[in-house]
């Protein structure tokens, strides 16, 4: 699984070509379910600049958003704050308010969380957004697809789940420090070596 929208748009096609036997599932902003969910026909997308500027995102809009108006909002700096474990500071709130205000002003009633970091902000967004706003996150759907593909290849784990295992290519101690904030429980953390 490529657990990043930006990495998916940058590399999924090449990875699928290079590794045709691997069940690769990528992340992409949930344009199709958002277009189906909107009541007023205006959908907002919070995402990274890289995702929003990609040809893959443009193709999603062409394919699934022909009957709705889509307002995109790049969110520079948001991923970096989340990666520090900041999920509720005044700085984060101010930044997030600046990103959601244009979407609300444009009449969005449905907002896509177009980055795998952004679901960590769902509790804060629930406080900041009117209750009528629908938040769309693809995490559960992607997990179901990955489970289906692993099942087809008889690669599903059997038995009770063990503790979660995480790998990082970044600073190991930093990741260990923020994991309980983001994951709500500790896990086994190792360095990922290329």
Task: Report the alpha-carbon distance of residue 5 to residue 12 in Å, rounded.
Answer: 10
Annotated domain spans of the chain = 5-140, 159-194
- The per-residue pLDDT for 194 is 66
Q: Are 155 and 142 in contact (CB under 8 A)?
A: no
pLDDT band at 112 (very low <50, low <70, confident <90, very high): very high
Averaged over 143-158, what is the pLDDT? 88
Per-residue pLDDT tens for 76-110? 999 999 999 999 999 999 999 999 999 999 999 99
Task: Report the alpha-carbon distance of residue 139 to residue 130 in Å, rounded.
Answer: 22
Averaged over 21-42, what is the pLDDT? 92
Residue (of 47, 13, 16, 50) closest to 31 by Cα position:
47
Query: What is the second-level CATH architecture of the domain 5-140?
Result: 3-Layer(aba) Sandwich (3.40)
- Known catalytic residues are 4, 115
User: Exposed, middle or buried by CB within 10 Å (0-12, 13-18, 19+), for 130?
Assistant: exposed
pLDDT at 9 over 90: no
Half-sphere exposure of residue 154: CA atoms within 13 angstroms, side-chain side? 0
More confident of the two residues 111 and 180: 111
- The per-residue pLDDT for 131 is 96
Phi, psi dihedrals of residue 136, rounded to the nearest 5°:
-115, 125
Averaged over 177-193, what is the pLDDT? 83
Averaged over 182-194, what is the pLDDT? 80
């Amino acid at each position: 699984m490529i657990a990043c929208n930006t990495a998916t748009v940058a590399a999924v096609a090449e990875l699928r070509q290079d590794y045709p036997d691997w069940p690769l599932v990528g992340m992409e902003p949930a344009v199709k379910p958002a277009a189906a969910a909107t009541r007023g026909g205006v959908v907002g997308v919070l995402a990274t600049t890289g995702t929003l500027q990609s040809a893959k995102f443009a193709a999603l809009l062409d394919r699934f958003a022909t009957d709705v108006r889509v307002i995109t909002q790049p969110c520079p700096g948001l991923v970096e704050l989340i990666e520090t474990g900041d999920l509720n500071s005044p700085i984060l709130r101010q930044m997030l308010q600046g990103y959601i205000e244009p979407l609300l002003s444009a009449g969005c009633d449905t907002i896509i969380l177009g980055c795998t970091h952004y679901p960590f902000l769902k509790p804060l967004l629930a406080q900041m957004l009117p209750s009528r706003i629908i938040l769309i996150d693809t995490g559960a759907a992607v997990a179901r697809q990955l489970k289906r593909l692993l099942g087809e290849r008889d690669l599903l784990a059997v038995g009770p789940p063990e503790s979660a295992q995480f790998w990082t290519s970044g600073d190991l101690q930093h990741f260990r420090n923020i994991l309980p904030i983001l994951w709500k429980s500790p896990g086994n953390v190792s360095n990922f070596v290329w």
